[in-house]
């Protein structure tokens, strides 16, 4: 995983107007075939913030139709109290579920679907696994600081564990057997370390202080959606293509380690 804080630049890739971010090799590896020809799952969409109460947060996992998620966990790593980095903020055990008949799972709050923008409320697409996590808005993704989202196998830690004891941006403790996928969301001015080669944000979008409120993965890379609209949300369904240039106002920033090659994001199964 990447060592370094959000302030460390490495190579910069900036997309203006169209908020498109090419995925690095670390993310593309999520689609590599296993020994039996199946693919590992990957994180394909995240909604972590919205205008008003955060009632509709969710994460979408993609992969082969019907694939088991036994042993798979979704983690959020950020800060905790006076500790600026490496703290497990959220840990969701996905072992009880499989991907749906269309190759998607949506892990969402029970309050999901209660807020309307432009007359539309969100719902999980037919054929996708609908995984309700906790009650109310219990997922409560942080949007005030940098956060790294990991999809891991065999997690044995707990919420509150400090995995970066000296806050140098390198994980000192790895309570899992393997990392399947990883993406970090960055907020303007945030100094918290992140632990993924793929980094989305900060962005110039009113109301978010630079934190991407919504992002989804396409063949062209990660795209950033709106704060007060469900225009680009497709929970449990194939993602929209990259918006036309200028469709989303702002700029997105991807921080890459020097020497890393860029590759496209994993393609969905046909």
Quick one: pLDDT at residue 27? 35
Quick one: pLDDT at residue 38? 67
Quick one: pLDDT at residue 141? 87
Taking every pair of Cα atoms in the chain, the longest distance, rounded to a whole number of angstroms, is 48
Q: From the first residue on, what is the mean pLDDT of each consecutive set of 10 residues in the chain (270 residues)? A: 34 28 36 59 94 92 97 94 89 96 96 94 97 75 90 96 94 97 92 92 80 90 91 91 50 36 36
Quick one: pLDDT at residue 10? 25
Provide the residue ranges of all domains of the chain, joining segments of one domain with +.
11-256
Quick one: pLDDT at residue 81? 80
Residue 63, burial from CB neighbour count under 10 angstroms (0-12, 13-18, 19+): buried
d(CA 167, CA 153): 24
Quick one: pLDDT at residue 189? 86
CA end-to-end span of the chain: 30
d(CA 241, CA 67): 25
Quick one: pLDDT at residue 138? 64
Half-sphere exposure of 30 (CA within 13 A, CB side): 31
Quick one: pLDDT at residue 137? 55
Q: DSSP readout, 32-44?
A: -B-TTS-B--EEE
């Amino acid at each position: 995983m990447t060592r370094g804080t959000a302030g460390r630049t490495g190579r910069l890739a900036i997309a203006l107007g169209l908020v498109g971010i090419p995925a690095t090799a670390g993310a593309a590896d999520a689609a590599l075939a296993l020994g039996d020809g199946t693919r590992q799952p990957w994180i394909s969409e995240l909604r972590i913030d919205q205008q008003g109460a955060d009632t509709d947060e969710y994460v979408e996992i993609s992969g082969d139709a019907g694939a088991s998620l036994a042993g798979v966990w979704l983690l959020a790593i950020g800060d905790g109290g006076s500790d600026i980095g490496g703290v497990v903020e959220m840990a969701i055990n996905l072992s009880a579920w499989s991907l749906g008949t269309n190759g998607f799972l949506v892990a969402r709050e029970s309050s999901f679907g209660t807020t309307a923008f432009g007359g539309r409320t969100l719902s999980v697409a037919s054929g996708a696994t609908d995984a309700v996590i906790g009650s109310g808005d219990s997922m409560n993704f942080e949007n005030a600081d940098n956060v790294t989202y990991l999809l891991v196998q065999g997690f044995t830690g707990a919420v509150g564990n400090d995995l970066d004891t000296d806050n140098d941006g390198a994980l000192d403790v790895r309570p899992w057997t393997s990392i399947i996928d990883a993406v970090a969301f960055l907020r303007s001015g945030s100094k918290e370390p992140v632990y993924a080669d793929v980094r989305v944000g900060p962005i110039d979008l009113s109301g978010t202080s630079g934190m991407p409120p919504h992002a989804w993965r396409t063949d062209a890379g990660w795209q950033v959606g709106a704060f007060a609209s469900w225009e680009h949300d497709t929970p449990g369904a194939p993602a929209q293509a990259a918006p036309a240039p200028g469709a989303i106002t702002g700029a997105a920033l991807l921080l890459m380690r020097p020497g890393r090659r860029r590759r496209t994001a994993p393609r969905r199964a046909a």
